[in-house]
Structure 1
Amino acid sequence: MRARLLRLRGFRIDPMKVDLIVAAALAIVSELEAWVGTVGGRERLVITVAGPLMAGTVAIRRRYPASAGITAGLLADVVAIAWKPPSIVSYGVAWLCSMYALTVWARPRLFAVGATAMALPTLVAFAITGAPRGGVGFTVITLFVMLLVRRIVGDRERRAQLAERERDLVAREATLEERARIARELHDAIAHNVSMMVVQAGAERRVLDRSSGSTREVLETIERIGRGALTEMRRLVGMLRSDAPDPLTPQPGLDDLPTLITQVREAGLPVELHVEGERRELPVGIELSAYRIVQEALTNALKHAGEARASVHVRYGVDSLELEIADDGPGAQAPVASGGHGLAGMRERVALYGGHLDTGRRPSGGFAVRVLLPTR
């Protein structure tokens, strides 16, 4: 079993090393209780031998929970049947630790073997000799508690695993849906450009005279390939269409940001738009992705930032486009926004163009989304 690392004030603590330390401490304490405490005679000899052995099971309980529990159970049975249960704290603590490992971490078959190994010797000895006294009641109570704890912990772990699987499924579905949405949007934008190429090639072919045969053939080839590309695009993207009808409107771009900013202001979030660098035409997909990223970020700010102000910075670089959407609200933004899937959608759009996305809380307060999209 792979032990998880515990964190304590920035330090990583390996639970297996903790068990080694605890086992060593219990072994030392058991010897002190044997030789410095009030025990004596045969019990001292039993504690001297059995105490460190019982403590040793704690050292292996995470890696071999069944072995640790079975060993601890059998050792306790042998000691109880041959002499009597030792009356020292370290011995009992080590036994509890190993039995907990058997109960919670062992596989079902090994747990059944361990529970049987722990209970059977005492029950058989009591049936034959009538000793140890009180052993049957203690064994029955121990078995009941082990089964109860295993049931409670098992139910909790199953619920946690089910919740984790559901979260993974939701995340995968969100990613697939967002990719389909991006593909549909890009299809609408690219199909428009290809259609223009086909129309212009056809128009030019029709006005050429008969002496320009080679040019006419080239234009016919362009027109034919363009129409074929449009047909294949429609066929492929048709599989990505959702049941909800897509709006028949042009896909937005960076020129539509002022309208978006106005809509967000009217919804109650003060927003300022700042544009740096020389405005130039960018590939239609980048324009669309940049607009959607700003839209998602402002929607998140509107829903989660509370009383806040926001700003949108658009920077045109030589070969890149930079976006920064920030707010100064006290609320923690959730990575979900209506219409898309929040940060998941942003990551998909940025990854599509090999860009970089950085999101998180600002040192001065608020939340910021920073995007770098290469334009070449």
Structure 2
Amino acid sequence: MSKSPEGGGPGGAGPWWWRRRRSALLDVGLAVLAALECAVGAYAMVEGRLHLGGPLALAASLLGALAGATLVVRRRWPAVPVVVALVFVPGLFGVVLLVVSLYTLAATWEWPSRRRRVVALSSLALAESFGMVLVTMLAPSPAPSEELPPTWVFVVLAALVAVGLTVPPVVTGLYVGARRRLVESLKDRAHGLEAELGLLAEQASERARRARLEERTRIAREMHDVVAHRVSLMVVHAGALERVVAKDPEKAQASARLMGEVGRQALDELREILGVLRMSEPPAPADAAGLAELAGLVEQSRAAGMAVSLTVSGERRRYREEAEQTAYRVVQEGLTNAHKHAGGAQVSVLLAFVPNGVRLAVVNTCPGECEPVALPGGGNGLVGMRERVVALGGSFEAGPEPGGGFRVEAVLPSRLAAPDLPLG
């Protein structure tokens, strides 16, 4: 037997098997009403029809009261009141017990897992009620001179009474039970959705945290690219200016002018990066660093005293903005490393448009007279370049050359090329 959805449990607030105190009060009230009806009916049957008074009538009344009191356990054992009602229905009493117990049976037993027991007990109650009413109607009348209606009339009336006693409580119980189970199912689904939404919120929070971390890393790379190269050029120019200011004022003036230009470029790029932080969707800058600006980048290093050359080969094509900017940053980082660690070295910048993409290399040869320049560095420039290139699907290598010197090389795939935009 299935436990009623209203039955008690470990978390119930009512006594015993009741979840709520009002459910216990309702069952006790119904049990008292059914007990009174059964007690009166049993006493009337023994005293009036069987003509057995005295102790037997009192015993039958007590037995009827106990039968009606079984409604107290209707939520815990719903079949017990039904069975008891079937025992007492032939005595023409126990109507309250029968109706309430059939309703409880249909409402509390799970359907369709226990449909056979519900149908069997309900059918037995219907048949018994029909037989009880029919026998009572066909019993010999104390006034035989009265004309009786046809037998089929009694059969129809008995059927109507039996159906009225059994079918409505069963149908109502089935409806209430199904509705109650539907509500419980919807509650369970709502709890499940709430837990799922909580999990999704946690995942979204984690994704947002990772996105913030990635954005901070990207901004840090951009800041490093801008500051390291520009400041390195300014430091180199400042050293050269210090050496030639007394000997060659015109050259010192040119170096100072170039330092100012480099400083303004650094400020412009820093302002552009910081502006991104203040805008939700910043527009792409029209003068974003790219492959077309490599010549100017090389010229700045040449003006700082570096012996640097630029070689371009292959059919030139324009690439997407992120690819062009990454390529520019790779060359910029290679020149910055040459400024820091290979003063006086011969530096070659190679830009080759090959069938599988674009290849960039910054190579410095150091025949023995190279001297490192005392420039600060965090050691993260090449690591950042590798991350940027690999994120675009390219390859990156950096390391010493066999004959001395250092090479920084990157290859960006051809799928990053902008469609139908060849450079003339």
Q: What is the TM-score of this pair, normalised by structure 2?
A: 0.38
Bigger Rg, which one? 2
Q: What is the TM-score of this pair, normalised by structure 1?
A: 0.42
